[in-house]
Amino acid sequence: MPPRVFVALAVSAVVPAVALGVLSPLTGGTGHKDRLAILELALFFYAYAAAYAVALGVPTFLLFRRLGILRWWTTVLAGYAIGIVTMTIATFQIPPPRALLLYGALGAASALVFWAIWTRAPSGSPYDVPNDA
């Protein structure tokens, strides 16, 4: 895989990591936020987000590319599903609907960031975006 795919994976994992750091009750709840605690939690969550991106995102990327269905909207839908699967794996149970929406949205946002970076692949690359994307 070209370096741009690795960069896209690395950057896309920042989205859920930072969001979870900000949303965590450990960072000060709804009042004053402790920026250092947010950064520490974001770094903690980044390791997990990156691991799930590699374990679930890369195979999905490769499968969609092989099937010729890699588009922005399929990427977002897959990211939403991966976000839900990630939450289910992390908690060992089916999460409540509110958590499903949150983690699905984080997965979709992360996938959209991946797509935005990946689509900037140099022309002629086997990872070029199809014309109808």
pLDDT in tens, 69-85: 999 999 999 999 999 99
Does residue 129 lie in a domain region?
Answer: no
Write down the pTM of the prediction: 0.83
The per-residue pLDDT for 124 is 52
Range of the domain at 106: 3-118
Count structural domains, the chain: 1
Does residue 97 lie in a domain region?
Answer: yes
Query: How far is residue 25's CA from residue 15's CA, in Å, rounded to a whole number?
Result: 18
Tokens describing residue 64: 């969609």
What is the C-alpha end-to-end distance of the chain, expressed in Å? 20
Tokens describing residue 103: 């983690």
Does residue 39 lie in a domain region?
Answer: yes
Does residue 83 lie in a domain region?
Answer: yes
Does residue 34 lie in a domain region?
Answer: yes
Whether the Cβ atoms of residue 109 and residue 78 lie closer than 8 Å to each other: no
